[in-house]
Amino acid sequence: MSGKPQVHRVGVRDVKFGQRVKMVEPCNLYECEIADDCFIGPFTEIQAGVVIGARTRVQSHAFICELVSIGEDCFIGHGVMFINDTFSTGGPARGRRELWRATTIGDRVSIGSNATIMPVSIVDDVVIGAGSVVTKDIAWPGVYAGNPARLFKRKN
């Protein structure tokens, strides 16, 4: 075989940045919105349509896919993966975007390293433990951990 690959370069394009955003390269950010005073670590991908609220920190190696909205004052740990394809047909959506689902993260949410976040809604003031897999909406502030993530301590 001697075909030539279609090459897509890592880069930053068509991003709406707020004031005082710090970003460590290399990153792959495109068609997203990052509010004031955010930090974006290296080896991070943030896809089209993602909105990240003010003062949120996204650590290295995070993957934030389309249809994700993250609130203000959040912390996204190293290697956190957001998923928008639930394999609802028994396999990948393979470009059938109508099968993708959205994720909404409230304000002051901290997500530990290597957590996986399925399409869910998470209220304000939640802590997700490292390595957790969030498969269902989180409706109460508190500390959640495990696979699947479950409530360990409710916040008052």
- Tens of pLDDT, residue by residue over 126-149, are 999 999 999 999 999 999 999 999
- pLDDT for the residue 97: 86
- pLDDT for the residue 89: 87
- Tens of pLDDT, residue by residue over 94-128, are 878 888 999 999 999 999 999 999 999 999 999 99
CA distances to 66, 111, 131, 148, 152 from 62, in Å: 13, 11, 13, 20, 25
CA dihedral 119, 92, 99, 102 (to 10 degrees): 20
> CA 97 to CA 31: how far, in whole Å?
17
- pLDDT for the residue 155: 83
**Given a cut of 70, is residue 1 above it in pLDDT?**
no
Contact assessment for residue 68 and residue 84, using Cβ atoms and an 8 Å cutoff: yes
Domains, the chain: 12-89+96-154 (2.160.10.10)
Q: Which two tokens stand for residue 141?
A: 């502030």
Peptide bond into 119 cis (omega under 30): no
> Rounded to two decimals, what is the model's pTM?
0.93
